Amino acid sequence: MFNKLSLIAVAGLLAAGACGASQFPDPAVDDSLQAAKGKQVAVLAGGCFWGVEAVFEHLKGVDNVVAGFAGGERSTAHYEEVSTGTTGHAESVQITYDPAKITYGQILKVYFSVAHDPTELNRQGPDSGTQYRSSIFYANDDQKRIAEAYIHQLNEAHVFRSTIATQVVPLKGFYAAEAYHQHYADLHPDNPYISTYDLPKVADLKKQYPQMCKR
């Protein structure tokens, strides 16, 4: 993941970012917290899966986050192949959460405001290629409705300086990445890529939404 681009890329990412957390809107269309038992799953892509995974692992109501691939075929769901940008896959995370503690819309709020820059097309920070695209892979009609409504809401409110590039597409399959990719940011905090691009996202989450973070 780590390449030769300088910290100028980070400055560019921040320049394209959204307004402060106090102004970042809640989704107008969302599920309500559900008392029913059972877990639900969200699959999101937003650049390198190391950082996106690290962000969502800190959210209350999230039970598990898996780094992997979505958008392509099972046969090509391997890191080296996905990295060619020819498989149709995007680096993604599968988030298992408790709908009695956190809603799908709240997960999307963190996704758009902290986990990545949704205005970048086929890239994220220093990484470029379709495998780093911004995508929401919906599992049902409710997820599709909430995601599309929120993107429309954010664009209409001009929350970002540019139009959101995030795709909203049906989930055809999610495939876990190799074991060494799992919990990578937590296990390798001194990796230059992690310390430069991913740990600041976790810090932003804790600063902007302390009430949503695990202690």
Handedness of CA 141, 76, 189, 9 (dihedral sign): negative
Task: Sort 13 into a burial class: Cβ within 10 Å, 0-12 / 13-18 / 19+.
Answer: buried
Cα(25)–Cα(154) distance, rounded to whole angstroms?
8
Sequence-ordered list of residues with C-beta below 8 angstroms from that of 122, at least 6 positions apart, any chain: 128, 129, 130, 132, 133
48, 52, 55, 77: which is the annotated catalytic residue? 48
Closest residue by Cα to residue 169 from 28, 30, 45, 39: 45
Sequence-ordered list of residues with C-beta below 8 angstroms from that of 140, at least 6 positions apart, any chain: none
Tell me, yes or no, if 48 is annotated catalytic.
yes
The single-letter code of the amino acid at 13 is L
The answer to whether the beta carbons of residues 122 and 129 sit under 8 Å apart is: yes
Residue 132 is classified by DSSP as: G
Q: Give the 3-state secondary structure of 55-103.
A: HHCCECCEEEEEEEEECCCHHHCCHHHHCCCCCCCEEEEEEEECCCCCC
- Catalytic residue numbers? 48
